[in-house]
Chains A and B, each alone.
Chain A
């Protein structure tokens, strides 16, 4: 009962703050609204029994990524741009129209499709008994070892790319 109420509460909070994120003029407030969305999603993960992912969500998304966003917003001086409306009227109208169409489409898919698939061997009781972190870690280092290593290469490439793109061009010494 309590879990149900909390799930609906955090779901509504996530939707409201996501709407605030896209409709607020000031990008700083948009970033703050997005943090609220991420934290309510983290709470939903915790209520669904994925404790490890909940912690990771708070640390990586609400912590690291949003700090990066805030840093860039503060670095670029956007004072003059927040006086403009968020988009042209026709752009806003058609954007919302297409968004609602997409939403209806996914509702139709959800309504017509049935969830089928092989039932795995990790029921919630087993995850709880061996611990969320250990269960994920075991799979990550055995079955998914290759994608895990690829992810490390991806992060390295991302880091190098950010450094190369972001550095200032120094004048050539001659």
Chain B
């Protein structure tokens, strides 16, 4: 069995990759996918710690995180579609109505 710290390191690496994706990409859809990746790395942490502490609470919280992610994807993709209808682009550089 792999030591628990290695699995936590895997989750940390995936989270950092998600952060890098949010920072460097300009396509709103890919930014959104990076956020999904970060949520997934947190899920991995929850499951690993649930196993380590011999408790099921972590697994149940992962189900709730998944619910939030599903609702967020539905609303977020609808937002992206309506932004695309208005501006004909999903590039976050060009969606700058709030710029002062």
- Using a CB–CB cutoff of 8 Å, the interface residues on chain A facing chain B are 3-4, 7-8, 11, 14-15, 18-19, 21-22, 27, 30-31, 34, 37-38, 41, 44-45, 48-50, 52-53, 56-57, 60-61, 64-65, 68-69, 72-73, 75-76, 78, 81, 84, 86-87, 91-92, 94-96, 98-100, 102-103, 106-107, 110, 115, 117-124, 127, 135-136, 139-140, 144, 147, 151, 154-155, 157-159, 161-163, 165-166, 168
> How distant is B70 from chain A, measured CB to nearest CB, in Å?
6
Measured between alpha carbons, how far is A50 from B40 in the docked complex, in Å? 15
CB-based closest 7 A-B pairs: A120-B55, A158-B71, A95-B23, A99-B20, A22-B21, A95-B24, A165-B78
Please give the number of chain B residues whose Cβ is less than 8 angstroms from any Cβ of chain A in the complex. Answer: 71
Residues of chain B whose beta carbon lies under 8 Å from any beta carbon of chain A? 1-2, 4-10, 12-21, 23-27, 29-30, 32-34, 36-37, 40, 43-44, 47-57, 59-60, 62-64, 66-75, 77-82, 84-85, 89-91
For A60, what are the chain B residues with a Cβ–Cβ distance below 8 Å? 66, 70
Query: CB distance A91 to B27 under 8 Å?
Result: no
Closest approach, in angstroms, between the C-beta of B69 and any C-beta of chain A? Answer: 7
Complex CA–CA separation, A73 to B48 (angstroms):
33
Given contacts A68-B74, A72-B29, A72-B77, contact A91 B23 (CB under 8 A): yes
Docked complex Cα distance between A52 and B68 (Å):
18
Q: What's the Cα separation between A128 and B7 when bound, in Å? A: 22
B20 CB contacts on chain A under 8 angstroms:
22, 95-96, 98-99
Interface centre among B5, B24, B26, B90 (most CB of A within 10 A): B24
